[in-house]
Amino acid sequence: MSITVVVGLLSGQTAALRVGFDDSVDAVALRAQTALRVATGRLRAAAGRHLSTCELVKDCGVQDGDMLTLHISRVQIQASHATFAAILGDGSVVTWGAQFGGDTRGVQDQLQNVQQIQASSGAFAAILGDASVVTWGEDQSGGDSIDVQDQLKNVQQIQANCGAFAAILDDGSVATWGATFYGGDSSAVQDQLQNVRQIQAADYAFAAILVDGCVVTWGACSWGGDSSAVQDQLKNVQQIQASDKAFAAIVADGSVVTWGHPDHGGDSSTVQAQLRSVQQIQATQDAIAAVLADGSVVTWGGAERVRAYSAAHGNLQNVQQIQTTDHAFAAILGDGCVVTWGLPRYGGDASAVKDQLRNVQQIQATGTAFAAILGNGSVVTWGDSRGGDSTAVQRQLNNVQQIQASGGAFAAILADGSVATWGHAHYGGDSCAVQDQLKNVQQIHATHKAFAAILADGSVVTWGHPDYGPLTG
C-alpha cells in the first residue's frame, strides 16, 4: 500500500512524494533530498517530532496527505585529543583519526538521530533524539558505559574531563562512567547529586552546581575532587571555572572560593582579600585570573614566574576579556590594547608586537602562542614557533573572520571563505596539500594536532598530523 506525503523545506519549497508503507524513513528522506535538490536532512512530522531513519513509514504514524518538513542540518564536528566525530545531516555519525575513538563499528547501528556529542581525551558520548546515550572509544576514557546504560535515559546534557563523563538527567540526578580516578565513579556522593543545574570539569575531577547554589565534587581528591575543606563556603555559587587540577567558584556576593592543587590555583589565600565583585574567571593549566567589576585583575596559582610577571604589570585596569595559553594570559583592555603576563615562551611577553596590538577584537591561543584579530581584519601573533610566528602568511591575513587553534598551529577563515594556516606543520600549520580544496569554508574544528574544515556544501576537508585526524582516503 502506498500514500502521498508532501515534504517541505523551511523556505516554503515543497515536493509531493508517493511512498510505500514498507519504505524506510531514510529512503523517503533520500527521495525528498533528490526531489528538492538539497543536501542531507532529517524528516520531521507536523508536530515537530523527528522521524527515526530506521523506522518504516507504517510504524511512524505518517498518514496519507501528511505534511513533513525536511530540516537541512549542517555537519557538526566534535573532537577528542586525536579523533574527530561528525554528526551528518541525517543524524548519523562518521569518525576518523586515532584508533581509539575513531572506530564506531561496535555501535554504528545505534548512532541514529544523534543530537549532540561530547568527548573525553579518548572516547565519545552521543545523545540521541530519544535522550538515550551511545558511547565508544577507550574504555578507560569513558568509551564503555555498559555499567550505567540502564540509567542513561532522558539525558539532558553531558560533561567530560580527560577520562570520564557525567550526564545530567531530566530529574536532576547524575550518571557517571569512565575511569574512577577521573570521576567515572560518583557513588560516594550519589545521594547528594540531586537537582543538579550544571557540571564543570577539571582534567581529573567534576564539580556540580545544584539548584540551591551548593556544590558537589568528585574525582581525584587532591586535584579538585574533594571540596570538603571549603564546603561551608560553597553557598549561592553562580559559576565555576577550572584549571587542570583545581576549581574556582564565583559566589553570589562576588567573592571566590577555590579548592584543588594549591600550585594550580586551588589555594587563593594570598589574594583572598582582593577577590571582591568578581565578574569572570579564566585559567591556564596551573594559574587562575579573576576580572573584577572595576576591570582590574587578580591572579593566583602557577609557577613563581607566572606570579612575578603578573606583579610586574601592577594593577591592570579596564580589562574586557582574557585569553590563555598553557602558562600565560593575554587581556584585552577597553581601549583595544593588550596586556600579557606569564611565561614568555608561552606568549607571556608581547613586547615585540606591542605597538601593533591596537583595536584588538578577539584573541585565540594554541598551547604556547596567541593570535589577535584587529578591527581591520589583520592578525598579530606572538609566542613560540607553534603559532607565534605568522610572517610566512602575513600577507594573506587580511579580512580575517575567525581563527581556530590546535595545540600548536592556527587556521584563519578569510572573508572569501579561503583559509590561511601557520604554526608547527605537525599540528596542522601547513595546509598546502589541501589548499585548493579550502573554498567556501564555514567552520573549522581541531584536535590537538589536526584541523577539519566544514565547507558550505557540507563536505569536510582535513589536514595535520596523520595520527590525529586527517582523512586518509
pLDDT beyond 90 at 121: yes
pLDDT beyond 70 at 304: no
- Say what the pLDDT of residue 307 is: 58
Cα 198 from Cα 206, distance rounded (Å): 10
Q: Are the C-beta atoms of residues 320 and 307 closer than 8 Å to each other? A: no
Q: Identify the CA nearest to 341 among candidates 311, 384, 317.
A: 311
- Say what the pLDDT of residue 238 is: 95
Give the pLDDT mean for 380-393. Answer: 96
What is the per-residue pLDDT across 14-24, written as a single tens digit (0 to 9) for each?
999 999 888 88
Mean pLDDT over all residues of the chain? 91
Give the pLDDT mean for 3-19. Answer: 88
The residue assigned the cell 528522506 is: 29
> CA of 29: how far to CAs of 34, 45, 333, 388, in Å?
9, 12, 51, 47
Residue 170's Cβ-count burial label (10 Å; 0-12, 13-18, 19+) is: exposed
Confidence at 51, pLDDT banded by 50, 70, 90: confident
Cα 21 from Cα 318, distance rounded (Å): 65
Q: What is the 3-state secondary structure (H, E, C) of the chain?
A: CEEEEEEECCCCCEEEEEEECCCEHHHHHHHHHHHHCCCCEEEECCCCCECCCCCEHHHCCCCCCCEEEEEECCCEEEECCCEEEEECCCCCEEEEECHHHHCCCCCHHHCCCEEEEEECCCEEEEEECCCCEEEEECHHHCCCCHHHHHHCCCEEEEEECCCEEEEEECCCCEEEEECHHHCCCCHHHHHHCCCEEEEEECCCEEEEEECCCCEEEEECHHHCCCCHHHHHHCCCEEEEEECCCEEEEEECCCCEEEEECHHHCCCCHHHHHHCCCEEEEEECCCEEEEEECCCCEEEEECCHHHHHHHHHCCCCCCEEEEEECCCEEEEEECCCCEEEEECHHHCCCCHHHHHHCCCEEEEEECCCEEEEEECCCCEEEEECCCCCCCHHHHHHCCCEEEEEECCCEEEEEECCCCEEEEECHHHCCCCHHHHHHCCCEEEEEECCCEEEEEECCCCEEEEECCCCCCCCC
Q: Pick the residue with more confidence: 112 or 316?
A: 112
- Which grid coordinates are listed for 360? 584588538
Confidence at 473, pLDDT banded by 50, 70, 90: very low
Q: Any bridge partners for residue 223, and if so which? A: none
What is the per-residue pLDDT across 407-454, written as a single tens digit (0 to 9) for each?
999 999 999 999 999 999 999 999 999 999 999 999 999 999 999 999
Domains and CATH numbers, the chain: 2-72 (3.10.20.90)
pLDDT beyond 90 at 312: no
Q: Are the C-beta atoms of residues 324 and 297 closer than 8 Å to each other? A: no
